[in-house]
Amino acid sequence: MKNYISSYCKIKNGTVIVNNNEVFRSEANDLKSVVKEIYRSIKPGYAKFFKMDDISKLGFIAAELMLKDTNLKNRYNDSEIGIVLSNSSSTIVTDSEFQDTIQDNNNYFPSPAIFVYTLPNIMIGEISIRHKFQGENAFFLNEKFDSIFISNYVNSLINNGKIKACLTGWVEYSENGYEALIYLVEQDGNTEHTEENINIIYNK
Amino acid sequence: MSYVYLESDNIISSLGFTTNENIDKLSKAEGGITLLDDKELFTERFPVSMINRNTLLKRIENTNLSDEYTLLEKIIILSVKDALKNSAADISSEKTAIVLSTTKGNIDLLDKSISDKYPKDRVLLWSLAETIAKYFNNPNKPVVVSNACISGVMAINIGADLINTEQYNNAVIIGADIVSKFVVSGFQSFKSVSQEPCKPFDSERVGLTLGEACGTLILTNKPSDNNCNIVYAGGATANDANHISGPSRTGEGSFIAINKAIKESGINAGEIDYISAHGTATPYNDEMESIAISRVEMESVPVNSLKGYWGHTLGAAGLIETIAMAHTMRNNILFKTLGYSTHGVSKNINVITETGNSEVKNALKMASGFGGCNAALILKKLDK
Buried b (16+ CB within 10 A) or exposed e, A122-152: bbbbbbbbbbebbbbbbbbbbeebbbebbbe
B144: chain A residues, CB-CB within 8 Å: 140-142
Domain ranges of chain B: 4-220, 230-381
Give the residues across from B223 on adjacent strands: none
**Residue A109 one-letter amino acid:** F
* Per-residue pLDDT tens over the stretch B228-266: 899 999 999 999 999 999 999 999 999 999 999 999 999
Say if B154 is an interface residue toward chain A (CB within 8 Å). yes
CA separation, residue B226 to residues B45, B223, B275, B286, B289 (Å): 49, 7, 26, 38, 36
DSSP assignment string, B54-65: HHHHHHHHHTT-
pLDDT of res. B43: 86
DSSP assignment string, B174-214: EEEE---HHHHHHHHHTT-B-SSS--TTBTT---B-EE-EE
The counts of H helices and E strands in chain A are 8, 8
Nearest residue, CB atoms, B371 vs list A96, A124, A133: A124
* Per-residue pLDDT tens over the stretch B265-292: 999 999 999 999 999 999 999 999 999 9
CA distance B80 to B261: 28
pLDDT of res. B2: 85
Domain count for chain A? 1
CA distance B271 to B260: 15
CA distance B87 to B170: 10
pLDDT of res. B70: 98
- Please compute, for residue B133, the number of CA atoms within 13 A of its CA located in the half-sphere on the CB side: 22
Say if A138 is an interface residue toward chain B (CB within 8 Å). yes
CA distance A41 to A37: 6
Tell whether A97 is covered by a domain. Answer: no
Nearest residue, CB atoms, B372 vs list A99, A110, A129: A129
A111, A101 contact by CB (below 8 A):
yes
User: Mean pLDDT throughout A64-91?
Assistant: 97
Nearest residue, CB atoms, A110 vs list B130, B167, B189: B189
Tell whether A198 is covered by a domain. Answer: yes
Angle at which helix B252-265 crosses helix B283-295, to 10 degrees, equals 40
Q: Coil, helix or strand for A182? A: strand
B374, B367 contact by CB (below 8 A):
yes
Whether the pLDDT of residue B384 is over 80: the answer is no
Say if B110 is an interface residue toward chain A (CB within 8 Å). yes
User: Mean pLDDT throughout B218-223?
Assistant: 96
**Residue B350 one-letter amino acid:** N
User: Cβ–Cβ contacts within 10 Å for residue B38, how many?
Assistant: 13
pLDDT of res. B216: 98
Interface test with B, best of A89, A90, A148 (most B CBs within 10 A): A90
Distance from CA of B14 to the nearest CA of A (A): 25
| Fold match between domain B4-220 and domain B230-381 | yes
User: Mean pLDDT throughout B176-194?
Assistant: 96
Whether the pLDDT of residue B1 is over 70: the answer is no
DSSP state of B230: E
B248, A89 contact by CB (below 8 A):
no
User: Mean pLDDT throughout B12-27?
Assistant: 98
Distance from CA of A185 to the nearest CA of B (A): 17
Tell whether A10 is covered by a domain. Answer: yes
* Per-residue pLDDT tens over the stretch B146-162: 999 999 999 999 999 99
Residue A20's region, left for phi above 0, alpha for psi from -120 to 50, else beta, is left
User: Mean pLDDT throughout B37-66?
Assistant: 95
User: Mean pLDDT throughout B320-336?
Assistant: 98
Domain B4-220 annotated CATH 3.40.47.10: yes
User: Mean pLDDT throughout B135-142?
Assistant: 98
A118: chain B residues, CB-CB within 8 Å: 104, 182, 186
CA distance B262 to B266: 6
Whether the pLDDT of residue B115 is over 80: the answer is yes
A90: chain B residues, CB-CB within 8 Å: 124-125, 146
Say if A97 is an interface residue toward chain B (CB within 8 Å). no
CA distance A87 to B159: 20
Q: Coil, helix or strand for B379? A: strand
> What CATH code is carried by the domain that includes residue A25?
3.40.47.10
Q: What are the start-end ranges of the H helices in chain A?
A: 31-42, 54-67, 72-75, 92-100, 112-115, 122-131, 147-159, 195-202
Tell whether A95 is covered by a domain. Answer: no
Whether the pLDDT of residue B227 is over 90: the answer is no
Window B:114-133, CB contacts with A under 8 Å? 123-127, 129-130
B346, B329 contact by CB (below 8 A):
no
Whether the pLDDT of residue B81 is over 80: the answer is yes
Question: What percent of chain B has pLDDT above 90?
Answer: 96
ipTM of predicted assembly, 2 dp: 0.97
The answer to whether the CB atoms of A90 and B130 lie below 8 A apart is no
Say if B233 is an interface residue toward chain A (CB within 8 Å). no
The answer to whether the CB atoms of A137 and B245 lie below 8 A apart is no
Whether the pLDDT of residue B50 is over 90: the answer is yes
User: Mean pLDDT throughout B315-334?
Assistant: 98
Strand pairing report for A137-141 and B143-145: antiparallel
Fold assignment, B230-381: Peroxisomal Thiolase; Chain A, domain 1 (3.40.47)
Measured distance between the N- and C-terminal CA atoms of chain B, rounded to whole angstroms: 15
B210, B184 contact by CB (below 8 A):
yes
What is the distance of C-alpha A2 from the center of its chain?
Answer: 23
The answer to whether the CB atoms of A121 and B147 lie below 8 A apart is yes
Maximum distance among all Cα pairs of chain A, rounded to whole angstroms: 59
The answer to whether the CB atoms of A120 and B146 lie below 8 A apart is yes
B154: chain A residues, CB-CB within 8 Å: 138
pLDDT of res. A1: 86
Window B:20-59, CB contacts with A under 8 Å? 39, 43
Backbone φ, ψ for residue B365 (5° rounding): -105, 135
Nearest to A185 by CA among A1, A6, A2: A6
Angle, alpha carbons B224-B230-B234 (nearest 5°): 120
Q: Which residue of B has its CA nearest to A106?
A: B43
Q: Which residue of B has its CA nearest to A109?
A: B189
Tell whether A94 is covered by a domain. Answer: no
A120: chain B residues, CB-CB within 8 Å: 146-147
The answer to whether the CB atoms of B112 and A111 lie below 8 A apart is no
User: Mean pLDDT throughout A166-189?
Assistant: 97
